[in-house]
């Protein structure tokens, strides 16, 4: 479980901070963005922004369209991302179980971890329904708020009280849909229920029209280090189906992955 986000260090290198801001904005603009617009978003002079982009382009972290001259993320980041994912034993160990669950239920299965108190998708397996039907907006590497997702809620439910309070102080409970829980006291009570029952439901709380059920994945020390979810359109993943079969399927898959990681119940 990731600890609450640390405060900004006093010795943070300004250039590194600026580069981080630039890369974040480029990631939010996959179609590309001009130097002028980018410099405005990062509140830097156009010349400074251009110098940083030139260095990042030379190193492969950024690329420039030869026609529009707009900038976007470079393939060096894909290389580094793949190296990171390759180092995640969790993803490797979970993949066969995720695939089996997706094939059995024909819905989309995700594996996520917490990073800086947001969920990050580290794996996604599409079910048979989705090639010809609705596709989930999720993708590997995407971040989402923890409080509005099933996977986020099962991980938050394992936070000690003080860490949970820090989470509430550091992250606002943004309203993603009309079903999102945005009241702190209500969410705390909800997380207690999630912890007791061993699973959580995202009842169209993060994305309208999508329902998910998630369960925690434990490591050998019994620590919730990740979560698995099954997601699909609400008209297919109905509340009745969740209660009658899907929650059991997800919880059993989570346990099998946990056991693969060395977890033993009652240890």
* 3-state SS, one letter per residue, for 45-108: CHHHHHHHHHHHHHHCCEEECCCCCCEEECHHHHHHHHHHHHHCHHHHHHHHHHHHHHHHHCCE
Q: pLDDT exceeding 90 applies to what percent of the chain?
A: 71
User: Is pLDDT above 90 for 214?
Assistant: yes
Helix (H) or strand (E) holding 30: none
Q: What band does 188 get if pLDDT is binned at 50, 70 and 90?
A: very high
Which among 206, 211, 201 has a CA at the least distance from the CA of 251?
Answer: 201
What is the rounded average pLDDT of the residues 15-29? 93
User: Is pLDDT above 90 for 65?
Assistant: yes
What's the pLDDT tens digit per position in 70-108? 999 998 888 787 767 655 678 889 999 999 999 999 999
Q: pLDDT exceeding 70 applies to what percent of the chain?
A: 88
d(CA 116, CA 232): 26
Confidence (pLDDT) at 5: 45
All domains of the chain in start order, with CATH:
14-80 (1.10.10.10), 88-260 (3.30.450.40)
- Output the pTM of the full model: 0.70
């Amino acid at each position: 479980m990731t600890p609450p986000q640390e405060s900004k260090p006093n010795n943070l290198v300004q250039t590194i901070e600026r580069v981080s801001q630039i890369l974040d904005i480029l990631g939010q603009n996959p179609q590309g963005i001009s130097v002028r617009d980018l410099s405005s978003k990062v509140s830097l002079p156009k010349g400074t922004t251009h110098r940083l982009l030139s260095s990042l382009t030379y190193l492969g972290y950024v690329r420039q369209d030869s026609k529009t001259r707009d900038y976007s993320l470079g393939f060096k980041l894909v290389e580094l991302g793949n190296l990171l994912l390759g180092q995640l034993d969790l993803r490797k160990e979970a993949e066969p179980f995720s695939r089996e669950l997706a094939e059995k239920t024909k819905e989309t299965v995700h594996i996520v971890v917490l990073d800086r108190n947001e969920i990050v998708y580290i794996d996604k397996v599409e079910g048979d329904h989705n090639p010809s039907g609705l596709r989930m907006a999720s993708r590997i590497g995407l971040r989402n708020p923890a409080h509005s997702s099933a996977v986020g809620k099962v991980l938050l439910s394992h936070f000690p009280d003080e860490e949970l309070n820090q989470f509430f102080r550091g992250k606002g409970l943004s309203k993603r849909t009309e079903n999102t829980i945005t009241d702190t006291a209500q969410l705390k009570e909800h997380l207690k229920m999630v912890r007791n029952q061993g699973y959580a439901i995202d009842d169209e709380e993060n994305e309208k029209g999508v329902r998910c059920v998630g369960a925690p994945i434990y490591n050998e020390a019994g620590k919730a280090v990740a979560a698995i979810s099954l997601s699909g359109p609400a008209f297919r993943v109905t509340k009745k189906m969740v209660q009658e079969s899907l929650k059991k399927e997800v919880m059993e898959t989570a346990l099998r992955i946990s056991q693969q990681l060395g977890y033993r119940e009652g240890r």
